[in-house]
Structures are given as structure tokens and as C-alpha cells.
Amino acid sequence: MSTISKHHEPPPWAAGLIDDIKSIKQQVSKIDKIEESVNKITLKVEQLEIQVRTMETSFNIINEQSEKTKSKLNKSEEQIRMFNEKSNKFENKIQNYQSKINQIEKSTDKLEFHSLRENLLFHGIKETSSNQENCDEIVQKIIKDVLQIEKISNSIESTV
């Protein structure tokens, strides 16, 4: 029996090699698993790189659109500022013109009141059917009879 068991057992120098080979096989198996994991990670990293490039492209497009929008906004703000300036100038001119109109109206009223200061206007006098009525006589008669004013100047001017 001892000869059989010696045949099955490797020599001591081979036993160390066999143990080393078993250990190497286990390590190779682990390395294979690590390599598989690394390959999976590499694949995911590549996918992430593609996504990042896509996102960068999208970001660049959005940034470009944002810059265009910003430029348009700046132009619009400048136009609004110019319109506001023009509007303010027009409002000032309108105020000046309104002031001048008010002054002209006052002056016109003054002139009109001054020119009418010594005038009397008679309204509601019935007209006669004859074409030859004497307005001066009718007014003088009303002044004497209705207003009871005796002293009348002879300078009656007709506006008709």
C-alpha cells in the first residue's frame, strides 16, 4: 500500500508546483472576472463619453441660442431706451405746445374781451316782416323804454 500511495502523491518538489499552479488558476480566474468587470466598466465609460459629447453638443447649441437671444434682448432694450427718450421729447414738446396754446387762448380772450368792452349786444328782438326796418331806431327805443336810459350816444354800429 505504501507503494500505491506514493504513486498518487506527487513528489514534494511537484506538490509545491501543483499548489502554485492551483493558486495561479484561482488568480487567473479572479483576473478573468476583473477583466470582465473592467470590460463592462470600459463599455459604460464609452457610453457615458458618448452621452457627455451629446450633452456638450446640446449645451453648445443652447448656449449659442442663449447668446443670440441675449443679443436680441440687448438690441430690444436699446430700442426701448431710444423710444422712451423720443417719447419724453415728444411729451415735452406737447407740453410746450399746450402751454403756448393756453397762452394764445388767454391772449385771444383778452383781445376779444377788450374789443367787446364797449359793446352791447341785444338778443331776442323780433324781426319785422318789412325789409326796411331801422335797427338803430329799434335799439334806441329799447334802451329808452326797457332800460330807461335817457342819454344815448348816436354812435350805434351794427354788426349785421
Name the grid cell of 137.
Answer: 331806431
Q: Would residue 2 count as lying in a domain?
A: no
Closest alpha carbon to 139 in 124, 155, 126, 122: 122
Taking residues 47-52, what's their average pLDDT? 97
Q: Would residue 141 count as lying in a domain?
A: no
Number of domains within the chain: 1
Confidence band (pLDDT; 50, 70, 90) for 24?
A: very high
Would the CA dihedral through 38, 40, 41, 45 be positive or negative?
Answer: positive
Q: Would residue 4 count as lying in a domain?
A: no
State pLDDT tens for residues 135-144: 788 888 888 8
Taking residues 35-45, what's their average pLDDT? 96
pLDDT at 119: 76
State pLDDT tens for residues 52-76: 999 999 999 999 999 999 999 999 9
State pLDDT tens for residues 144-153: 888 888 877 6
Q: Would residue 111 count as lying in a domain?
A: yes
Q: Would residue 127 count as lying in a domain?
A: no
Q: Would residue 130 count as lying in a domain?
A: no
Q: Would residue 91 count as lying in a domain?
A: yes
14: domain range?
Answer: 10-117
CA 114, CA 108: separation in Å to the nearest integer?
10
Number of other residues whose CB lies within 10 A of the CB of residue 127: 8
